[in-house]
Structure 1
């Protein structure tokens, strides 16, 4: 696998002078010691990071929610450009920004930020096999809806899923309402429409989720955000019974109907299949769809 790493203005890996596995983060960096950082992962399409502008907007949002000083997005764009121009065939890119070096406590230091950009040519995720997990997302957490590097609870849930032959874990929030996956948003097709949990559920404001809502509506598909509390976790029982259908959305999966849930093989829903086709067509024509103005 080809891996490229940009940090501190230098490229590593991909046949360059430095190895991609060379240590690049200081021992006192708060991104390492306490998970004080944010990140974005995106698909690379024909040498370009898909929806980069939207991902950078969410990066800024996450940093503001974390109380971190804003990052120079042009600096980030330049780093991304250096990485993507250094090798062909790259498929996935991640931007990570931490608050930089800090004391041996939860108190934040004075920075400056640490920026790391990593890209590789890992294969696309071709199907999603999901399970429900017994833990719940805290929609009142200060990190709810933030793409934070404090990711350990997602790791625990993903290992639970992997131990059961799955590659994604779906969860409820503290009210028992359907929320999200560890690395994806969820769409439910039922009663002739597609609905997705609202941001009030505590889910991440996914880039592909947002585009699926926009592009699906523009294609006259019946798609909307559910009302708070409309989707209980039990709606997944309708999916396993065949009365409803489900798909996940993420930057590495796009719109991907579930292949199985809790070990039950599933058929894709017609509306979700149509939405996946709409997304594929629109994303092929526009690799950097601009955010809508408020």
Structure 2
């Protein structure tokens, strides 16, 4: 993380930035966030990130997204931190509130922008285990990138404790939903497929791009079908990682399809 942070239109030294102890995002996980890639001082596919956050604001009964303020804030925080390439996180919470679950009548959002130095886009191969935690694709919250991230956090911890790199969560349908911080794409019968939203998948921006480009289809994948998968990859806005195993099933490598996904999502990476 870099030296300066943007909060509600003002820039602070990261050591001086403060969130009120009554902030509902801190106390109750009452917020949403987006993590975006920075390339040449720009946010690729910013419209997709804003679109998902707008839907999240609507579902959480937040005021409408202040796009002009955010665009100006993004430009300011990238410039003052001298970031050309890296990542940016936008977090919005309901802001300060009284004790209890019901918020006050007046909503004063807390809006936070943080930037981070570059990390690897093409990640090393990963080994996955199926988690005991679930995602519910029937819930409106399943499409919200909420700051309440406990199922993913606990799934990742348990995976690490079992000497795996990450975990896959199932949906209430019994099919695979996604990994703890990424969508999953399978090669099934020579076709790239990804779990549908009803199975609990978050509508990731990279996932959406592959679907709109016709490079991938929505298909449910049951755990018992893993033995027939020809390959698998984890994708999000920042990276792609090939999957080598899920539980005891080996994912047969398919170099070509992995290159197709990488070249489409990250054309600047050679």
Hey, what's the Cα distance between the residues in 2 that align with 1:107 and 1:149?
18
TM-score (norm 1): 0.82
Q: For 1:138-153, what aligned pairs fall within 5 Å after superposition?
A: 138-153=136-151
Aligned CA distance change for structure 1 residues 6 and 165 (closer, same or farther; 3 Å): farther
Contact 1:195 1:224 (C-alpha < 8 Å) held by counterparts: yes
Structure 2: tracts of 5 or more residues without a match = none
What does the per-residue CA deviation read over 1:250-283, in whole Å, with 9 as the maximum and x for residues that have no partner?
A: 0121x432244347775532323322223333x6
Mean Cα deviation higher: 255-264 or 268-277: 255-264
Which residue of the other structure, out of 242, 257, 276, is the alignment partner of 2:262? Answer: 276
Question: What's the offset of the Cα at 1:235?
Answer: 2.7
Contact 1:42 1:94 (C-alpha < 8 Å) held by counterparts: yes
Name the counterpart of 1:48: 42
Question: What's the offset of the Cα at 1:245?
Answer: 0.9
Question: What's the offset of the Cα at 1:8?
Answer: 3.1
Which residue of the other structure, out of 256, 260, 267, is the alignment partner of 2:241? Answer: 256
Q: For 1:59-138, what aligned pairs fall within 5 Å after superposition?
A: 59-86=53-80, 87-109=82-104, 110-125=106-121, 126-129=123-126, 130-138=128-136
Name the counterpart of 2:156: 158
Hey, what's the Cα distance between the residues in 2 that align with 1:165 and 1:206?
27
What does the per-residue CA deviation read over 1:62-81, in whole Å, with 9 as the maximum and x for residues that have no partner?
A: 11111222121111111111
- Secondary structure class of the residue paired with 2:266: helix
TM-score (norm 2): 0.89
Name the counterpart of 1:2: 2
Hey, what's the Cα distance between the residues in 2 that align with 1:174 and 1:100?
32
What RMSD in Å do the two structures reach over aligned CA positions?
2.1
How many residues are matched? 264
Q: For 1:31-42, what aligned pairs fall within 5 Å after superposition?
A: 31-42=25-36
In the alignment, structure 1 residue 169 sits paired with structure 2 residue 163 = no
Mean Cα deviation higher: 41-50 or 83-92: 83-92
